Each structure stands twice: as C-alpha cells, then as structure tokens.
C-alpha cells in the first residue's frame, strides 16, 4: 500500500515543483487579455470561474482512458504505476499546459492551428485530419463504453427472469435492447451538448458529474485501503512486490507472447499519463480562462488529478485479483467494464458500488460530448466557418454525427486499436509543436523535446510492428522506431530556426483583462 501512496505523493510533488518550473519557463503575462474577453461570442468563448473551468477540464480529458487503460496496464505489474507517475509529471501535464497556454496566447486556437504556426502548414494539414479522426473515434468509443456499463447496471439491478430457463428482461426488454436504448440516449445528449452554448448544459451539469467523480475516486481508494487493513480479507495488496524485491517488482516487465512492454504499455495507459486527446479538449477551456496565471492549476493540475484516478484503478487491477492471469480472464470475460463493476460492488457494497459505477460512467460521457464539440470547432476553424448561429453549427454537426453513427458499427476492439495509435500520435505532434515554440523563442525546449522524442519512438515502433500498421518483425520495428525518431529530431533542428530571445506573443496586447 505504501507504493500506491508514494506514487500519489510524487504526482502532487510534481504539480508544486515541476509544474511551477514549467510555468517559469513559459513566462506568463497576467496583464494580457485572454480570448474569453477579446473574442467573447456567448457560445464557445466566455469567461468562467477558475474552479469551474478546472472541473470541466478534468471531466473533458478524463474519459474511460484513466480507468480502462490502467486496468489493462496492470497486466504488466506494478511497473505500470511508474509510467503513470513519470509520464504524467514530465510528459502529460507538460503537454496539456503548453497546449492550453499556447491556445490562450493565440486567440483560443485549436491544436492543428498551433501546429501549423510553429511547425508549418504541411503538419497542420496532417494533424487537422488526424485530430478529426481521433475525435470521431473518441466520440464513438465513449458512446459504447458508458452504454455497456449502464446496460450491465440496469440488467443486474432491474432484470427479472419470468420463467425457468428464460433470459432476464427489464420491462420486457432484453439486454441487447437495453444496450441500444442507453446508446441512443447518450447519442442524443451528445448532439444537444455539441450544439448549445458551453454554459447551458456543460457548465451547469458538470458540477453534479464532478461530485460523482470525487465519490468514485475516494470511494474506491477507501475500499482499497480498508481491504488492505482488514486481516480477514483475502486480498493482499501488491503481493507481486512482496518484500520490495526489485526482481519481483519487474517480474511482469516483459510479458510472454506478443505483448511486449515496449511500446504497448505506453499506448495502453495513455489518458492517465500522456494523451493526445487532451490537445483537442484543452483549447475549449483556454477560450474561457480569465487570466494566464490560472493556467498551471487548470491545465497542469487537471492532468495530475487524472493521474491520481489512473493510479487508483491501476491499484484495483493489481490487487483485486490473485494474479495477472485471473485479471486477464476477467477482462476477456467482460472487458475492463467487468473489473469496474465487480470491484466497485465488492469494495463499496450495492448502493455505494452503484454510485461509484455512475462516477465511472460520467467520465466517458463528459469526454464524448466535448469530443464532438471540439471536432465541430476544428472543422469550422479549418474552413473559416463562424459558429455563432445554430444553423451554421448544424451544417457541420449533422454530417459529423451521421459519420459517427456509421463508424460505431465497426468492431469495438478494432476501433480501440486505431484510437490508441491516433491518440498518442496526436500527443507526439503537440509535444513537437510546444518544443518548436520554445526552441524558436530561445527558451528551454528540452522539457518538451525529450518527451516528444520518447513518444515518437513509441508510436513509430507500434505502427511498424502492430497488425493495424505494417506487421513487421518486433526487433526490426524497434530499430525502425528509433531510426525514424532520430530522423525527426534531425529535421526538427535543421528546418527550424531560432527567432529571438523571449516571446513577443507574451508582450503584445498588454491591456489587462476587463
């Protein structure tokens, strides 16, 4: 249990120490007017309170990724927690902070626009397409996962077996129909939330969702601690690190079969450590921030909070089952959703478990709604199509949702593989974008360049080796991954030229927020 709390402490220390250092490198300008005031439109650009923005930011970025990903990552053993901590502090939170602050500095610009400004037009064209594809995949994935959880919850608590040998039904509807009903309800909510001004639905119901999120996080943490302290409980927390043996700590470092830790761990656990999806969501809140000094709390801080959620569910994956084989069997039987349901009911009882599961359900829902919203805004920005009127929002939204419905018919496991690669590739581009900004203005670019190089090697290796890519030999794929990363690094320093010391963007429009 000490290992879990040690990791949480490292995350918090990262916020106060490294987060402050990152803010110092960026150099904030509290007197500079933010887009919430200079570009206010009553729909997407409007000032909101710091606490509300932080909560919306956390709910936007934290989908099923920091829950399902760490549960799957637990198959690699306690070393998965190291990636959550190190990835979150030195890559994920840095990624989110620079995406948010660069968006604030550039009129609430989306991530593709930022990539175009600092890396060039060809990169902008590529990331525009990739970002929309990623958001579409996210929207579809985050319809399926909460619908599955809600369907399971409905059938378990309200299902009735009318005769011997018959299947359970709810008001006469079988499990498949209940799943369709929940999917339809979630899809309708996404459509409404995508079209209405951000303060009409998202700004009003997210505090309630936030309460469920907090209950889920602290409730599961309490369940883990109480089970560990109960001598009669069969669960022995982190038996794989018994005696703090370094050898046992790394016993799952290289799982057997075709699931090597490099690069799969760093794609499996993404949203709790480093996620490109955040780059599509963060500008939404950059358009509502009232002052640049709020950036560290909103952007860096929300990522640290997501890291804590990821640690909780990684701990569940590591401790709830007797060994990785039993965890793997549970996942195969019912996906990570089964692990969530079984562990929540076990730790917190029927009533508390239901509330905890609802806390899990709201995460993908609060990311799915803003995924479609962000896709609409990226498309509108690309075509310079203003979004003040409802009719013009519908012109983009309707084809987007029709396409999303078509994509939803693809097998979930296939969607998830493409989502994982697109997600981390987007993170790669955003980190190179932030590195380019720092390098061109004579700042300490290595804080972004090094994590950009790391995740580039991960993405290139995965694309070369995995079946959705080229399906090459593993060893050859590793060489290709590192070789392409080296090439990208050489091109980065060759094609980009430093402009000047300091950042002129921080000095212009120094009129203060009204």
Task: Find the range with the poorest average confidence among 325-329, 428-432, 482-486.
Answer: 325-329
- Tell me how far apart the alpha carbons of residues 266 and 243 are, in angstroms, rounded to a whole number: 27
- Tell me how far apart the alpha carbons of residues 382 and 394 are, in angstroms, rounded to a whole number: 16
**Res. 510 pLDDT band, cuts 50 70 90:** very low
Task: Find the range with the poorest average confidence among 8-12, 107-111, 299-303, 334-338.
Answer: 334-338
pLDDT at 234: 45
CA atoms within 13 A on the CB side of 211: 4
Judge whether 506 lies within some domain.
no
Q: State yes or no: pLDDT of 371 exceeds 70.
A: yes
φ, ψ of residue 466 in degrees (nearest 5) = -75, 160
Q: State yes or no: pLDDT of 246 exceeds 60.
A: no
| Greater model confidence, 445 or 145 | 445
Domain containing residue 339: CATH number: 1.20.1740.10
Q: How far is CA 433 from CA 75, 284, 424, 438, in A?
A: 33, 18, 14, 9
Judge whether 499 lies within some domain.
no
**Res. 236 pLDDT band, cuts 50 70 90:** very low
Judge whether 496 lies within some domain.
no
pTM of the full structure = 0.84
Q: Is the peptide bond before 263 cis (omega within 30 degrees of 0)?
A: yes
- Counting residues of the chain whose pLDDT is more than 70, the rounded percentage is 88
| Average pLDDT over every residue of 90-113 | 95
3-state DSSP of 75-135: HHCCHHHHHHHHHHHHHHHHHHHHHHHHHHHCCCCCHHHHHHHHHCHHHHHHHHHHHHHHH
| Average pLDDT over every residue of 10-37 | 96
CA-closest candidate to residue 405, choices 377, 372, 376: 372
CA 61 to chain centroid: 5
- Tell me how far apart the alpha carbons of residues 330 and 337 are, in angstroms, rounded to a whole number: 9
pLDDT at 256: 47
**Structural domain harbouring 27:** 1-429
Average pLDDT, the chain: 84
Task: Check if the beta carbon of residue 396 is closer than 8 Å to that of residue 385.
Answer: yes
Judge whether 293 lies within some domain.
yes
pLDDT in tens, 216-231: 888 898 888 887 655 5
Judge whether 412 lies within some domain.
yes
What total of structural domains would you count in the chain? 1
* Strand blocks (E) in 325-438: none
**Res. 214 pLDDT band, cuts 50 70 90:** confident
Tokens of 286: 């950059």
pLDDT in tens, 158-189: 877 666 666 788 888 888 898 889 888 888 88
pLDDT at 165: 62
| Average pLDDT over every residue of 223-249 | 55
pLDDT at 501: 60
pLDDT in tens, 331-355: 887 678 788 888 988 888 888 888 8
Task: Find the range with the poorest average confidence among 207-211, 252-256, 334-338.
Answer: 252-256
**Res. 203 pLDDT band, cuts 50 70 90:** low
pLDDT at 176: 86
Task: Find the range with the poorest average confidence among 90-104, 228-242, 313-327, 361-375.
Answer: 228-242
pLDDT at 241: 43
Judge whether 439 lies within some domain.
no
- Helix ranges (H only) for 120-274 are 121-158, 175-195, 202-229, 246-249, 261-268
- Counting residues of the chain whose pLDDT is more than 90, the rounded percentage is 37
pLDDT at 105: 95
Task: Check if the beta carbon of residue 39 is closer than 8 Å to that of residue 45.
Answer: yes
Task: Find the range with the poorest average confidence among 70-74, 213-217, 229-233, 406-410.
Answer: 229-233
- Tell me how far apart the alpha carbons of residues 394 and 284 are, in angstroms, rounded to a whole number: 19
Judge whether 511 lies within some domain.
no
Q: State yes or no: pLDDT of 99 exceeds 80.
A: yes
Task: Find the range with the poorest average confidence among 119-123, 259-263, 286-290, 409-413.
Answer: 409-413
Task: Check if the beta carbon of residue 89 is closer than 8 Å to that of residue 14.
Answer: yes
Judge whether 442 lies within some domain.
no
């Amino acid at each position: 249990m000490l290992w879990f709390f040690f990791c949480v402490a490292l995350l918090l220390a990262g916020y106060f120490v490294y987060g402050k250092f990152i803010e110092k490198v960026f150099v904030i300008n509290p007197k500079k007017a933010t887009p919430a005031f200079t570009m206010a439109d009553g729909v997407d650009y409007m000032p909101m309170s710091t606490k509300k923005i932080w909560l919306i930011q956390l709910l936007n970025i934290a989908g099923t990724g920091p829950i399902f990903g760490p549960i799957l990552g637990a198959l690699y053993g306690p070393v998965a927690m190291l990636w959550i901590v190190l990835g979150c502090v030195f890559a994920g939170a840095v990624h989110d902070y620079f995406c948010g602050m660069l968006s604030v500095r550039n009129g609430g610009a989306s991530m593709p626009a930022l990539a175009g400004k600092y890396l060039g037009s060809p990169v902008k064209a590529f990331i525009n397409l990739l970002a929309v594809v990623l958001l579409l995949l996210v929207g579809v994935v985050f319809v399926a996962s909460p619908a599955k959880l809600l369907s399971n919850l409905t059938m378990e608590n309200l299902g009735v077996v009318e005769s011997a040998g018959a299947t359970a039904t709810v008001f006469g509807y079988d499990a498949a129909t209940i799943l369709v009903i929940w999917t339809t309800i979630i899809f309708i909510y996404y459509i409404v939330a995508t079209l209405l001004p951000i303060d009409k639905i998202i700004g009003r119901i997210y505090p309630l969702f936030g309460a469920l999120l907090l209950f889920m996080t602290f409730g599961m943490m309490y369940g883990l601690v109480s089970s560990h302290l109960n001598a009669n409980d069969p669960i022995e927390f982190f038996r794989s690190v018994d005696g703090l043996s370094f050898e046992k700590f790394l016993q799952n470092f290289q799982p057997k079969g075709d699931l090597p830790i490099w690069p799969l761990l760093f794609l499996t656990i993404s949203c709790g450590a480093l996620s490109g999806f955040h780059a599509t969501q963060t500008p939404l809140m950059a358009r509502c921030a009232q002052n640049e000094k709020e950036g560290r709390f909103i952007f860096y801080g929300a990522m640290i909070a997501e890291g804590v959620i990821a640690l909780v569910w990684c701990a569940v994956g590591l401790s709830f089952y007797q060994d990785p084989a039993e965890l793997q069997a549970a996942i195969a039987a019912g996906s990570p959703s089964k692990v969530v349901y079984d562990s929540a009911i076990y730790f917190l009882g029927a009533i508390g478990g239901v509330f905890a599961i609802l806390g899990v359900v709201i995460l993908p829902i609060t990311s799915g709604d803003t995924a479609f919203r962000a896709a609409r805004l990226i498309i509108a920005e690309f075509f310079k199509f203003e979004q003040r009127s409802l009719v013009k929002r519908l012109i983009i939204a309707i084809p987007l949702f029709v396409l999303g419905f078509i994509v939803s018919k693809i097998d979930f496991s296939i969607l998830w593989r493409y989502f994982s690669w697109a997600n981390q590739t987007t993170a790669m581009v955003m980190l190179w974008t932030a590195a380019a900004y720092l390098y061109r203005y004579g700042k300490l670019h290595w804080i972004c360049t090094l994590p950009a190089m790391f995740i580039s090697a991960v993405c290139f290796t995965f694309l070369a080796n995995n079946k959705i890519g080229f399906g090459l030999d593993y060893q050859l794929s590793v060489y290709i991954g590192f070789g392409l990363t080296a090439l990208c690094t050489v091109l980065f320093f060759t094609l980009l030229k430093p402009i000047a010391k300091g950042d002129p963007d921080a000095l212009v429009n120094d009129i203060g927020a009204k």
